[in-house]
A and B are shown apart, each in its own frame.
Chain A
Amino acid sequence: MREVLGDRRTILVLLAPALAIYTLVMLVPMLWSLGYTVFDGSVISGFQFAGLDNFSRLFSDPKIADALWFTVKYAVVITVGQVLFGYVLSLLYVFVLKRASALIRTLVFFPVVMPTVAVALLFQKLFEVAPQTGPVNALLNAFGLESVNWLGDPGNAFVVLAVMDIWRSMGFYAVLLYAGLIDIPEDVLEAARLDGASGWRLVRNIVIPLSFPVLISSLIFSINGTLKVFDSIYALTGGGPGTATTPLTLAMYRTSFASGDYGYGATIALALTVLSLLVTLLIFKTSRRDLTQG
């Protein structure tokens, strides 16, 4: 085996097809998109070199500033929610439910496998105010409270979006973190227990430090996924009311494909890429420091 894999030509043969396809379908479009950032125009009227015009427009566009702020706000809230609820659930699986956790794990994981659009429609109906009163408002009415316009008000729409996305994905993070938690050696936990650590102290001093690497992985997964959110928002609110829940991805999509402005759309995409990169680097850096200290 070593003889085969030690041969350069074999390595080339094994890698070349995958690399060629990857280059064609990923790298070429990415570079192409990067090229668009310095062009203006459309496929109909043709493209003209525009220098850094798209970038200066990006920095002075209030719509992009709003979308950026929304993206960051969404990413922080949803990431904290996903990972926190996921972690609490995984602790529940490992330390409380133990071997009986299979059923609960399956149930909590269930929304992950449902199509986003189906979940969004479900939440639209749950939080509906007109023409029919949805279950949530019906419940409020039953307690003598007035109906709330959940998806028609910017603040409320964000709350519904957060509830939906956290509910939809916490099962995934619970399973991911569960895999990390069951890797913690039982004898370490046993030793800590003998030393008198239990409950919160055990979690804080033993479980969290030992599951830290998988927590960091979850955070990186989550923050990059939420910075690039598109489907759930598009299906639930369509970016509305107005543009109150429009993230960068939706702004990019509308600019490129609804307005046919590929140059500016590509510039927004580049901004999003840089943002994802910066956040990932930041998390990597802080986590490394923490690990060496721990």
Chain B
Amino acid sequence: MKSTGRTWAPRVACAVTVSLALAACGGGGDGGGGSSDDGFTMMSLNENTTQDSVITSLSEDQCADQNGALALDITEQAQESVDQQIQLLAGQGALPDLFPANTPDLIRELADNDQVANVGEVLSGGEAADAIVPAAESAADQIFGDQLVLPVELNIEGIWFNKQILEANGIAVPQTWDELVAAFETLKAAGVQPISNAGSGGDGWGVSRWVGAYLFRTIGPDAMRAIADGEASLTDPEYVEAADAIAELGEAGYFGPAPTSIDYATAINTFLTGGAAFMYMGSWALADFNDPESNQIGEDAIGFLPFPEVEGGAGNSDQTPTNLGTSIVLSSSVAEDEQAQAWVECIAGNYGTVALRDHGQITGLELSEEVEVPPLTGLVQDQIEATDESVLWFEALFPASATTASQQNAGLLGSGQMSGEDFMAAVAAELG
């Protein structure tokens, strides 16, 4: 008995060890996203249901042929960890054909390492060569330095206001920064919260957007480009002035009692339930504005105000902050695969119409047919058409660490607990 035990025990132990070791080492085989051999792979954000839904409906209708040749395969990813996942897959050379442009800096880095395809080049020569509207092209150039995304989202940003609150307090729609601040003062004195924007943790961009928009009005459309190119510093007096202007709003309590405790959903909800008069927001919020359940004040009560001009500033209110949301990036493998290219052409040709018709989503893609839209969506479309020059947002050209520093600290600016100088210094430290 003893001798048999001695002979089989080591063998079993070795077998177990080896198989465990192999299992541990070989885990990445199936789950590593996909090259185009697996079909037409797409990574989509959990939080953004529009993209999956539109692309799925395209695969069943307009792009059914392309789907037959190369089947669509969508995997969901939480937005919080999407950059990490993209980095991981890029490191393994296993990026899906389509993935979201969550952080511009990461997409620029991927482009520098030839991991993403140039959308303009992929589409050129085909049926959808002119599918991208000029406003989206210009935005992509500014954000990425090239046509690195399929613009399935195109947003403008500005200040939305509650017409009823303004009327009830005898306030005319402000046309300049000074008038806007005067309106805040009147509202605060009347016991109405002037601004609803988030300042909690990573949602702090609700406040930092104000800083950026103010900079584009005072210094001009190239304000943030100069920072990225190292020609100016955030700690220069003219930049600090912008942060100070917003810190003053915070000190006066215009962002409400505790903006550092307010997240994105709460900020939108406060505005849409009539709890605040103004909100700086992108047009992606149209989904909430057009939803009668979220929007308690009614579509008619909402007005849009381009960020007003600051006296003596080099920028003007026609320069509209524009972004491409989490538009779709193509991995470089798409450029080498004809079937995948056919898919991309089909998306470029049809996505705009389906997204606008079914979801009220404005895209940077030409429409293939007329679509009837709700009034607020129409207002945004008009604003996009009227835009000659677009500008970015505060963090657009920052690396991830500076973006985090800005978003983390902006809440304190909105609550008046941090000076403009300290805020700019904290962000500048991450720009290196």
Interface of A with B (CB < 8 Å)?
Answer: 9-10, 12-13, 16-17, 20-21, 24-25, 42-45, 62-63, 128-131, 147, 149, 151-154, 237-243, 254-255, 257-261
With beta carbons under 8 angstroms apart, the residue of B20, B87, B115 that contacts A260 is B87
Write the nearest CB–CB distance from B39 to chain A, whole angstroms.
Answer: 24
Interface residues on B, range: 35 or more
Interface-located stretch among B47-55, B66-74, B122-130, B259-267: B259-267
| Known contacts A13-B9, A44-B87, A259-B399; A152/B261 CB under 8 A | yes
Interface-located stretch among B331-339, B361-369, B407-415: B407-415
Residue of A nearest to B16 (CB): A17
Residues from chain B with a CB closer than 8 A to the CB of A238 are 200-202
Distance A152 CA – B201 CA, assembled complex (angstroms): 10
12 contacts between A and B (CB under 8 A): A21-B20, A128-B261, A149-B260, A149-B261, A152-B259, A152-B260, A238-B200, A238-B201, A240-B260, A241-B411, A243-B426, A254-B401
Distance A242 CA – B415 CA, assembled complex (angstroms): 11
Q: When each residue 82-109 of chain B gets 1 if its CB lies under 8 Å from chain A and 0 otherwise, what string results?
A: 0110011011000000000000001001
A149-B261, A243-B408 known; 5 new pairs, CB 8 Å cut-off, are A12-B10, A129-B258, A238-B202, A241-B415, A242-B408
Whether A45 and B109, one on each chain, are in contact in the complex, defined by CB atoms closer than 8 angstroms, is yes
Residue of B nearest to A3 (CB): B2
Is B417 part of the binding interface, using a Cβ–Cβ cutoff of 8 Å?
yes
Whether A43 and B87, one on each chain, are in contact in the complex, defined by CB atoms closer than 8 angstroms, is yes
Whether A130 and B401, one on each chain, are in contact in the complex, defined by CB atoms closer than 8 angstroms, is no
| Known contacts A21-B20, A43-B91, A254-B404; A16/B412 CB under 8 A | no
Write the nearest CB–CB distance from A26 to chain B, whole angstroms.
Answer: 12
| Known contacts A13-B13, A44-B109, A259-B400; A152/B417 CB under 8 A | yes
With beta carbons under 8 angstroms apart, the residue of A43, A62, A152, A237 that contacts B429 is A62
Write the nearest CB–CB distance from B77 to chain A, whole angstroms.
Answer: 14
| Known contacts A130-B256, A260-B83; A24/B21 CB under 8 A | yes
Residue of A nearest to B413 (CB): A242
Write the nearest CB–CB distance from A268 to chain B, whole angstroms.
Answer: 13
Whether A131 and B13, one on each chain, are in contact in the complex, defined by CB atoms closer than 8 angstroms, is no
Residue of A nearest to B267 (CB): A131
Whether B409 and A242, one on each chain, are in contact in the complex, defined by CB atoms closer than 8 angstroms, is yes
Residues from chain B with a CB closer than 8 A to the CB of A243 are 405, 408-409, 426
Whether A260 and B412, one on each chain, are in contact in the complex, defined by CB atoms closer than 8 angstroms, is no
Residues from chain B with a CB closer than 8 A to the CB of A20 are 17, 20-21
Residues from chain A with a CB closer than 8 A to the CB of B405 are 243
Distance A101 CA – B266 CA, assembled complex (angstroms): 44
With beta carbons under 8 angstroms apart, the residue of B13, B261, B266 that contacts A16 is B13
Residues from chain A with a CB closer than 8 A to the CB of B262 are 130-131
Whether A43 and B257, one on each chain, are in contact in the complex, defined by CB atoms closer than 8 angstroms, is no
Distance A239 CA – B408 CA, assembled complex (angstroms): 9
Is B3 part of the binding interface, using a Cβ–Cβ cutoff of 8 Å?
no
Write the nearest CB–CB distance from A191 to chain B, whole angstroms.
Answer: 54
Main secondary structure on chain B at its contact with chain A? Answer: helix
Is B219 part of the binding interface, using a Cβ–Cβ cutoff of 8 Å?
no
Residues from chain A with a CB closer than 8 A to the CB of B411 are 152, 240-242
Closest 5 CB pairs between A and B? A43-B91, A152-B260, A238-B201, A259-B401, A130-B258
Is B227 part of the binding interface, using a Cβ–Cβ cutoff of 8 Å?
no
Q: When each residue 17-45 of chain B gets 1 if its CB lies under 8 Å from chain A and 0 otherwise, what string results?
A: 10011001000000000000000000000
| Known contacts A9-B6, A240-B408; A17/B20 CB under 8 A | yes
With beta carbons under 8 angstroms apart, the residue of B17, B81, B200 that contacts A17 is B17
Interface centre among B81, B260, B270, B401 (most CB of A within 10 A): B260
Residues from chain A with a CB closer than 8 A to the CB of B10 are 9, 12-13
Residues from chain A with a CB closer than 8 A to the CB of B260 are 149, 151-152, 240-241
Interface of B with A (CB < 8 Å)?
Answer: 6, 9-10, 13-14, 16-17, 20-21, 24, 81, 83-84, 87-88, 90-91, 106, 109-110, 112-113, 115, 200-202, 256-262, 266, 269-270, 275, 399-401, 404-405, 408-409, 411-412, 415, 417-418, 426, 429
| Known contacts A20-B20, A129-B257; A258/B408 CB under 8 A | no
Whether B109 and A255, one on each chain, are in contact in the complex, defined by CB atoms closer than 8 angstroms, is no
Whether A260 and B400, one on each chain, are in contact in the complex, defined by CB atoms closer than 8 angstroms, is yes
Distance A239 CA – B412 CA, assembled complex (angstroms): 13
Residues from chain B with a CB closer than 8 A to the CB of A241 are 260, 411-412, 415, 417
Residues from chain B with a CB closer than 8 A to the CB of A261 are 401
Whether A42 and B87, one on each chain, are in contact in the complex, defined by CB atoms closer than 8 angstroms, is yes
Residues from chain B with a CB closer than 8 A to the CB of A10 are 9
Distance A255 CA – B399 CA, assembled complex (angstroms): 12
Distance A44 CA – B115 CA, assembled complex (angstroms): 9
Write the nearest CB–CB distance from B111 to chain A, whole angstroms.
Answer: 10
Whether A152 and B88, one on each chain, are in contact in the complex, defined by CB atoms closer than 8 angstroms, is no
Residues from chain B with a CB closer than 8 A to the CB of A151 are 260-261
Distance A131 CA – B260 CA, assembled complex (angstroms): 11
Distance A128 CA – B399 CA, assembled complex (angstroms): 33
Whether A43 and B88, one on each chain, are in contact in the complex, defined by CB atoms closer than 8 angstroms, is yes
Distance A26 CA – B24 CA, assembled complex (angstroms): 12
Whether B258 and A152, one on each chain, are in contact in the complex, defined by CB atoms closer than 8 angstroms, is yes
Residues from chain B with a CB closer than 8 A to the CB of A44 are 87, 90-91, 106, 109-110, 113, 115
Distance A128 CA – B400 CA, assembled complex (angstroms): 30
Distance A21 CA – B202 CA, assembled complex (angstroms): 38
Distance A254 CA – B429 CA, assembled complex (angstroms): 15
Write the nearest CB–CB distance from B153 to chain A, whole angstroms.
Answer: 23
Write the nearest CB–CB distance from A82 to chain B, whole angstroms.
Answer: 26
Distance A42 CA – B105 CA, assembled complex (angstroms): 13
Residues from chain B with a CB closer than 8 A to the CB of A43 are 87-88, 90-91
Write the nearest CB–CB distance from B395 to chain A, whole angstroms.
Answer: 13
Write the nearest CB–CB distance from A266 to chain B, whole angstroms.
Answer: 15
Residue of B nearest to A148 (CB): B258
| Known contacts A130-B261, A254-B404; A63/B109 CB under 8 A | no
With beta carbons under 8 angstroms apart, the residue of A17, A237, A242 that contacts B426 is A242
Distance A129 CA – B106 CA, assembled complex (angstroms): 36
Distance A10 CA – B401 CA, assembled complex (angstroms): 53
Distance A258 CA – B202 CA, assembled complex (angstroms): 11
Residues from chain A with a CB closer than 8 A to the CB of B106 are 44, 260
Write the nearest CB–CB distance from B96 to chain A, whole angstroms.
Answer: 15
